[in-house]
Structure 1
Amino acid sequence: MTLEQYNQLPYDYAHCAGTHCKKASQCLHHTAYTMLEMGGRKQYMIVNSKVIADKQPCPFFDPNRKERFAWGISRIYDNVRVADLSDIRQNLIYTFGRTAYYRIKRKERVLTESEQKELAQSIGITLDGIKYHIKNMTKQGLIKHEGSTKAEK
């Protein structure tokens, strides 16, 4: 985590000194704690390590890596044979549940990385296949990247 990223954390973000935790090296709360000396904050919140000592998984765990989310699934059927369309749709509804399926389709809910992997398995393609199609659709102008990029630094 860079100092700039640390300074973007909310002031009431809880810092965790729990070095005894197995996931401390992967936790954003612990990473924030290690940044305290450089951050220059006068006040900060800290998690009581005695409260979380015996609780696994930790209720405060927050991964310190960026997660890739996907919005919507409207283009998922573009390269599917018409004969397979109904089966794939039913499989997706079975995988996510009817309510979640329609929320994802209407872009009211994001797909997490783990759900993207599950989706790829349920329709019989690999995650690399999804990345390949995303790259091609981006080149064709069918989809676009939203949010920050590494080039904005």
Structure 2
Amino acid sequence: MKNLFLQETNKIKKKKKLLEDKLKVKITIKNNEVSIEGESVDKYEASIVLEAVEFGFPVETSLLLKDPEFILTKMVIKDFTNRKDSSVVKGRLIGTHGKTKNTIEKISDCKIIIKDNEVGVIGHAEDIGYATTAIANLIKGSKQSNVYNYLERINKEKKKK
């Protein structure tokens, strides 16, 4: 049995049956403690998926993490900037009507969630490095157009291979 202490268990409670079926584990939730029973590999995969669900990713997106080719990365905004007002930085990451975030997701083929002072990214192992570099550059103050150009250049290089 593996125990996790999660702050947000509501989404997990709502999708518990689906998660148990897909992850091949038994999930028990008491207050903020989540117990996982099953095979070792399944428990490990389940803990990563539940961490992503708690962070704010939809269950369907979080289940991508069952595939070892997909990775969850969390970035703390404060690690990349000294700005006291993180709402400005989050605004830069999201963009007008979510355009910047959506563009980065499309070009990098990753899923991004911005929560509090953290950015969560789920993506293929090859793509996640490019997405996190783009996000870090935006946090540091690079222009959106420069970040888009960087990602498009990387995409062209990947297509040539």
Same fold (TM over 0.5): no
Whichever of the two has the greater Rg, that structure is 1
TM-score, L = length of structure 2? 0.28
Higher helix share: 2
TM-score, L = length of structure 1? 0.29
